[in-house]
Structure 1
Amino acid sequence: MEATKKNSWLTENRRSAIAAYLFISPFFILFAIFGLFPMLFSFYLSFFRWDGLDPMTFNGLDNFRFIFSDPIFYSSIQNTFIIGLLGTLPQIVVSLLIAFALNSSLIRFRNTFRTLIFLPYITSIVAVAIIFGLVFNNQPFGFANYILSLFDGGPIRWAAEYWPVKFAIATMVFWRWVGYNTIIFLAGMQSIPRELYEAAKIDGASIGQQLRLITLPMLKRIVMFVVFTATIGSLQLFTEPLIFLGRGLREEGITVVAYLWRDAFVYNTFGTASAAAIVLFVIIITLTAINLALSNLIGRSKRRVS
């Protein structure tokens, strides 16, 4: 009788559901250990003073008071947004233009160029930062300063001056991510019916008109997705400024993630680092909400038009 009840409870659908949950359980277990727990512990740690060795001491909101009274923290936020804008906006525009060219018949050997344009993304970011560190060397023999000398320009201290350090880091970000976004735009463009471009050519539309009147309206969702991911990526910028500036992380180029890393692993003040991480989390959530609101607004306006 008990065996019959057990068999009736363990139906075919339930066995399939249990098997499915078992197959996907490793992801959730690993996420809980390496993702969810560190986030919750970081939130908990933001209310304590801890150097990683001694017992934790509760200090309330003192960690938040410290970072909000630290001018370098405000500089890190400002640097993060400036470098993000310098590296993201040109990157999206150039990625869109390259994807449009690769999707058209303007370029021969398109498959080869698609592979080459994606190579910077799979290149080691440490290697990229080291190479660009040589390009933007402060000395006159640095490649960038050598190019400036050909036009009678004086050498620039790329790693020490306010705008040059931001331009150098933004150039690294641009070079690494332009190929990735190109592939995303290219995938979206390949779903656009070719008949639209052929009809536009018959009507005498130029390449710029095809891009403005056909490609961009059909890629609204993908453009919003790229802007969304690029925004989050720019707010989490860390490796480029760390390798380019070294462990000192000068105020001219330090980002929020580099700021909290320095507090945690250089100064051993994990409480203030966790407080900075919470502030960054709030900034990302706020920008994400704005992005979703804009996406929904664009979606509703598109449905009304149709």
Structure 2
Amino acid sequence: MSSLPLAVARRHRRGVRHTLDVRVSPYAYVAPFLLLFCAFGLFPLAYTAWVSLHDWTLLSDEHAFVGAANYATLLADGYFWNAVFNTLSIGVLSTAPQLVLAIWLAHLLNRPLRFQTLFRVSLLLPNVTSVVAVVVIFSQLFGRDFGLINWVLSWFGAGAVDWAAGTATSHVALSTMIMWRWTGYNALIFLAAMQAVPRELYEAATLDGASGFTQLRRITLPMIRPTIVFVVVVSTIGAMQIIAEPLLFSASSGAGGVGASGGPDRQYQTLALFVYEQGFTKFDFGYAAAASWLMFAAVVLVAGVNYLLTRRMRGGLA
């Protein structure tokens, strides 16, 4: 008779452990990430918003509260709007061709090829290459006097182009660097999505006489639409945060205005580079924090619009 209460007690303890395991364990598993996110993500984000409301410079001991004055000054700053234009221009020039080329490369690699693994691994080489090395090499390719690009253009009678001096030419040069680094990476993402498309669809389309381009347009693109939306949104966010390429381009190309100004006439200063200049060159942290929050709002807005537009591709691709 004494064993019955003991069995009930054991069953009760097992029930309590099971309840705790089901209800508490998931929170314990995600707790390390949440703690790190709050410490290094959420708190800096909130603290930056607080700093943006103050006249906060490195050399001052007191930080006067100025409210939205930093934002008002920023919206009237011509250099800020120049950085917005440069960011959008470089982003469009690098993102749109990059995605088209990535889909085309993925479509080619989705077919039976010899040395298929070698080609797929090769697509990642630009992405794992140091951005400093990429900028140095491409700056030499786009050099005014001895650059390979100008040498090729001279075959067609074109004069030497100072790629780092003009707005349009510098944007083309920077966009080429970004495309070279990220096209292969995005192509592998598209390739993974294409391999999940049922082969029976292609076999049926082949029997119906559909060409490779028709199969790509009618089968592949509609089937990988969620992946296209993901890549477009992520690429847009990345394009809005470009900083390393323009920061190093002046020094590597030998142009004036080396540093965070983005060229002697700020012809390729991006938003991220503008924030860097205000915070770590001029040490105006309040102004830089306000610029970073407007940059954050711009990233959310552009990514949201891009997401909605890409979702509407559904009717056009079907």
The TM-score, its normalising length taken from structure 1, stands at 0.89
Q: CA deviation at 1:229?
A: 0.8
CA distance in 2, matches of 1:181, 1:297: 21
CA distance in 2, matches of 1:11, 1:195: 49
Cα deviations by residue, 1:27-48 (Å, 9 ceiling, x for unpaired): 2222112211111111111111
Query: Which residue of 2 is the match for residue 104 of structure 1?
Result: 111
1:146 equivalent among 145, 151, 168: 151
Amino acid at match of 1:144: I
Contact kept, 8 Å, 1:221 with 1:295, in 2: the verdict is no
Contact kept, 8 Å, 2:278 with 2:287, in 1: the verdict is yes
Q: Which runs of 4+ in 1 moved over 3 A?
A: 6-10, 15-23, 291-299
Identity of counterpart residues, as a percentage? 37
Amino acid at match of 1:268: F
Q: CA deviation at 1:65?
A: 1.9
* Higher mean C-alpha deviation, range 239-248 or range 39-48: 239-248
Contact kept, 8 Å, 1:46 with 1:272, in 2: the verdict is yes
Q: CA deviation at 1:13?
A: 2.9
1:7-22 maps to which residues of 2 (within 5 A)? 10-15=16-21, 17-22=23-28
Cα deviations by residue, 1:156-203 (Å, 9 ceiling, x for unpaired): 111111111100110111011101110111011001111111111111
CA distance in 1, matches of 2:172, 2:46: 35
RMSD: 2.3
Question: SS at the partner of 1:151?
Answer: coil
Query: Which residue of 1 is the match for residue 121 of structure 2?
Result: 115
Contact kept, 8 Å, 2:54 with 2:63, in 1: the verdict is yes
Gaps (5+ residues) in structure 1? none
Gaps (5+ residues) in structure 2? 1-8, 251-257
Amino acid at match of 1:238: I
1:126 equivalent among 109, 128, 132: 132
Contact kept, 8 Å, 2:232 with 2:307, in 1: the verdict is no
CA distance in 2, matches of 1:160, 1:59: 38
Asked whether 1:88 is paired with 2:95, we answer yes
Question: SS at the partner of 1:231?
Answer: helix
Larger Rg: 2
Query: Which residue of 2 is the match for residue 249 of structure 1?
Result: 262
CA distance in 2, matches of 1:212, 1:241: 36
Q: CA deviation at 1:252?
A: 0.7
Give the 3 Å change call, closer, same or farther, for CA 196–249 of structure 1 in structure 2.
same
Contact kept, 8 Å, 2:56 with 2:286, in 1: the verdict is yes
1:28 equivalent among 26, 30, 34: 34
Question: SS at the partner of 1:44?
Answer: helix
1:59 equivalent among 54, 57, 66: 66
Contact kept, 8 Å, 2:229 with 2:310, in 1: the verdict is yes
Query: Which residue of 2 is the match for residue 260 of structure 1?
Result: 275
Q: CA deviation at 1:49?
A: 1.2
Amino acid at match of 1:215: T
What is the number of equivalent residue pairs in this alignment? 296
Query: Which residue of 2 is the match for residue 217 of structure 1?
Result: 222
Give the 3 Å change call, closer, same or farther, for CA 61–186 of structure 1 in structure 2.
same
CA distance in 2, matches of 1:64, 1:49: 11
Query: Which residue of 1 is the match for residue 254 of structure 2?
Result: none
Question: SS at the partner of 1:11?
Answer: helix
Q: CA deviation at 1:68?
A: 1.4
Contact kept, 8 Å, 2:136 with 2:249, in 1: the verdict is yes
Asked whether 1:207 is paired with 2:220, we answer no
* Higher mean C-alpha deviation, range 161-170 or range 44-53: 44-53
1:224-239 maps to which residues of 2 (within 5 A)? 224-239=229-244
Q: CA deviation at 1:269?
A: 0.7
Q: CA deviation at 1:26?
A: 2.2
CA distance in 2, matches of 1:287, 1:269: 27
Query: Which residue of 1 is the match for residue 253 of structure 2?
Result: none
Give the 3 Å change call, closer, same or farther, for CA 8–185 of structure 1 in structure 2.
closer
Cα deviations by residue, 1:133-155 (Å, 9 ceiling, x for unpaired): 222223x1122222223333221
Asked whether 1:197 is paired with 2:202, we answer yes
The TM-score, its normalising length taken from structure 2, stands at 0.86
CA distance in 1, matches of 2:53, 2:210: 61
Query: Which residue of 1 is the match for residue 170 of structure 2?
Result: 165
Query: Which residue of 1 is the match for residue 297 of structure 2?
Result: 282
Asked whether 1:187 is paired with 2:192, we answer yes
Question: SS at the partner of 1:126?
Answer: helix
Question: SS at the partner of 1:249?
Answer: coil
CA distance in 1, matches of 2:19, 2:129: 45
